[in-house]
Amino acid sequence: MRLIFLLLLLINFGCLASSCIVTDEMREQFNSKHAEDVTIDTTLRDSNFFVTIKLPESIEGQSSYSVLLVSDSLEEPTFIFPLDLYEEDNQTKAWYEIDAGLVRKHFVVVSLNDYCAPSIFKEVFYQ
Per-residue pLDDT tens for 33-52? 999 999 999 999 999 999 99
Non-local (6+) Cβ contacts of 124 within 8 A are: 40, 42, 51, 106, 107, 108
Averaged pLDDT for residues 97-106? 94
pLDDT band at 1 (very low <50, low <70, confident <90, very high): low
Domains in the chain: boundaries: 24-124
87: β partners: 92
Residue 44's pLDDT is: 96
Q: How far apart are CA 11 and CA 8, in angstroms?
A: 5
What is the model's pTM? Answer: 0.78
Q: How far apart are CA 61 and CA 64, in angstroms?
A: 9
Residue 19's pLDDT is: 75
Per-residue pLDDT tens for 2-41? 655 545 555 655 555 567 788 889 889 999 999 999 999 9
Q: How far apart are CA 95 and CA 86, in angstroms?
A: 9
- Would you tell me which CATH number, out of the four given (3.30.420.40, 2.60.40.10, 1.10.150.80, 2.40.30.10), belongs to the domain 24-124? 2.60.40.10
Residue 58's pLDDT is: 85
Q: How far apart are CA 27 and CA 29, in angstroms?
A: 6
Residue 81's pLDDT is: 95
Q: How far apart are CA 125 and CA 33, in angstroms?
A: 20
pLDDT band at 113 (very low <50, low <70, confident <90, very high): confident
Bridging pattern class, strands 39-45 and 48-55? antiparallel
Averaged pLDDT for residues 92-102? 94
